[in-house]
Chain A
């Protein structure tokens, strides 16, 4: 029974676009989602801790920063959710039979994501709208929300790893068909999760740094402080991340580990470049701390880190296909291109970007009075 592998058939409906295009959209929208998610999750932890430090030290810089973060967190959450819809769509298009099955096996934890999200999200709004009123407990509210979001991430890692291991489904399902399983027996789940979690702290540190860059012209002292303070979160997070990353790599099956160690040249190159880019961003950010003009250095660091995230996301995709290599054969997809629908999508997409751009341009013009 333990060795039984049951694999649902892929959906009989053909793909409406070539595999590569759907894959490209999957990875691209995942990158956008994960950046917003890092701001929303890591930002919550940084806001809460900064708030606590501010109270203890009675230092206005800390309190100001947490007040500013309180306004960014609901926005980051809104975009995490909205940007998350697209990769959730494309993963169901390409990997539906794996995704639905693993979700059903752990249905209750998976569904609880919705409830946790609603509570955590309202927590962020309570933090923003009652920032002055709630002086004492507000930090704990935002930290509580951040913890709920961290739990959501953990559930996601459980499911998205379970989805890649059909060998475990039958045994789990027949032992417990009530959807209350988890996937902690998989040794990669914890390090993989921590890899995402620690990244969210680092990247949210960069959000604070970007915020500092925006402030530097108006209030140089505060701006420089925010650059250093956010940068420090980033630097410490990234150093911890190297340890967690190695742990994650070593937790993988040897054949997957070797993919990134020369066996698959594309995977190896992306891995190498990504690690170098993260080192580069670390150095640039550190240098920006005391530079006369921190902007160019910091922006360089930010760009290299976003490229690192892109590289890591591509690696994640390579790893997914490696996990599923015995079952998932992209060349077997039947493709029937819906040209007119694709055209409408392209037009709507461009029009949507222009509309959002128009609105942002109106907001950015306000900067002097509101920033």
Chain B
């Protein structure tokens, strides 16, 4: 309510964030896992004095550089830009709660980017051992950046005792919010994902090798990188699910059909990857083709997409749990909005007082500040279809009990007159 609402017809802000975020997650986890893949495999090649393997790594590192440094890094900035535009209040909360968390992450970025640029540029120039050390430095920087961002991301779902600690205990507030209940299970899951993606991506370069024997060896080797994920992800996953808020668990397990379907898909796709990684690269590396590897990577992308979508969805009705609702309303300001009215509290509305002439316009403005962060009018999650066939009184009834009837929605806040105006406008959409 503090910021203007960016009106994006049809797709809505949520989908836009999802689009940028999924690309970033899919590459950034590779940037972490691929780092240790490069460092460990290079160590192996040096030990075995395997020139062909080193040549492969040199090529693989170019692919790695072009993908992670450009698309990976810039899409990360892209998420930041996008959330600032769609959810400015929540972005501001994350920025202000973790100013020096972000600053620490920035230092890791600098180390990471310096290391990978040097690593790529100094193949055959630095002595192998030093070159390998640069690879390890890269991995350390990349993993530590995950260690930081994981704290801030998990904080949004499991704020823990952060909401209860007063601002007068700033350090305690920072650390308890950062090392929140889902911090470690999430870190283990992400570590598993990073290792698995290292395997999936390197299958892409490995299956294209000309030398038959090296190809088979590397395909099998890369396939084995998925094995830790088979163990880490289910174990940490169960831990994660056991620790998240009950409502979030409910949403993913039947409470909201779409979310449940996506959560199930995430598991099914992961199992498919596990099965085919076993049957293909690990058991029959010689028969594993580039197309097969590409297929696995595409399924990997789908897992990322549905899982990220679920992770975002289960946080509803909040964007920052127990602190801020998904429409940017602070939980603690509810009473104020109920007594003063949404239109009075909201800054960027053109109607301040409702009368008979402007009722519909008022309803539209209320929709904008309370609903539009998740709903479009007739596009993604379009409200017009959702209320089709409902009478005005029934809409008003729904609005009065939103949080009861639809657990993933925040309650409606505002005066009775405002609620009626919103109901009228919603009803009129289908007239």
A-to-B contact residues, CB < 8 Å: 6-9, 11, 13-17, 22, 25, 74-75, 78-79, 81-83, 85-86, 88-89, 92-93, 96-97, 99-101, 103-105, 107, 110-111, 113-114, 117-118, 121-122, 125, 169-170, 173-174, 177-179, 334, 336-342, 344-345, 348-349, 352, 355-356, 359-360, 362-363, 366, 369-370
Contacts and interface: CB of A to CB of B under 8 A. Distances in A.
Interface string B88-128: 10011101110111111011111101110110011001100
B174 A13 contact: no
> Top 4 nearest A-B pairs by Cβ distance?
A100-B88, A13-B96, A336-B170, A352-B107
Nearest to A1: B350
B109 A338 contact: no
Contact of A114 (B77, B100, B134): B77
Interface of B: 2-9, 20, 66, 69-71, 73-75, 77-78, 80-82, 84-85, 88, 91-93, 95-97, 99-104, 106-111, 113-115, 117-118, 121-122, 125-126, 130, 134, 137, 141, 167-168, 170-171, 174-175, 347-348, 350
Given A82-B110, A179-B85, A359-B114, A342 B4 contact: no
Given A11-B92, A83-B110, A173-B348, 9 more contacts: A6-B348, A11-B95, A16-B174, A75-B117, A81-B73, A100-B84, A110-B81, A338-B171, A355-B115
10 contacts: A16-B170, A78-B117, A92-B92, A101-B4, A114-B75, A121-B70, A334-B167, A342-B100, A355-B111, A362-B118
Contact of A348 (B80, B92, B107, B113): B107
Contacts of B81: 103, 110-111, 113-114
Contact of A178 (B8, B84, B107, B125): B8
Contact of B125 (A11, A339, A341, A369): A369
Nearest to B95: A92
A17 B110 contact: no
A177 B9 CA distance: 11
A36 to B, nearest CB: 11
Contacts of A174: 350
A17 B126 contact: no
Contacts of B114: 356, 359-360
Contact of A349 (B8, B107, B113, B170): B107
A89 B141 CA distance: 19
Contacts of A363: 118, 121-122, 126
Contact of B126 (A92, A122, A362): A362
B5 A177 contact: yes
Contacts of A338: 100, 170-171, 174
B70 A341 contact: no
A363 B133 CA distance: 13
Contacts of B88: 96, 100-101, 103-104
B6 A177 contact: yes
B350 A111 contact: no
Contact of B168 (A117, A336, A352, A355): A336
A100 B85 CA distance: 7
B100 A344 contact: yes
Contact of B174 (A92, A103, A170, A341): A341
A170 B350 CA distance: 10
B109 A85 contact: yes
B7 A178 contact: yes
A344 B107 CA distance: 12
B101 A341 contact: yes
A16 B97 CA distance: 8
A177 to B, nearest CB: 4
A78 B122 CA distance: 17
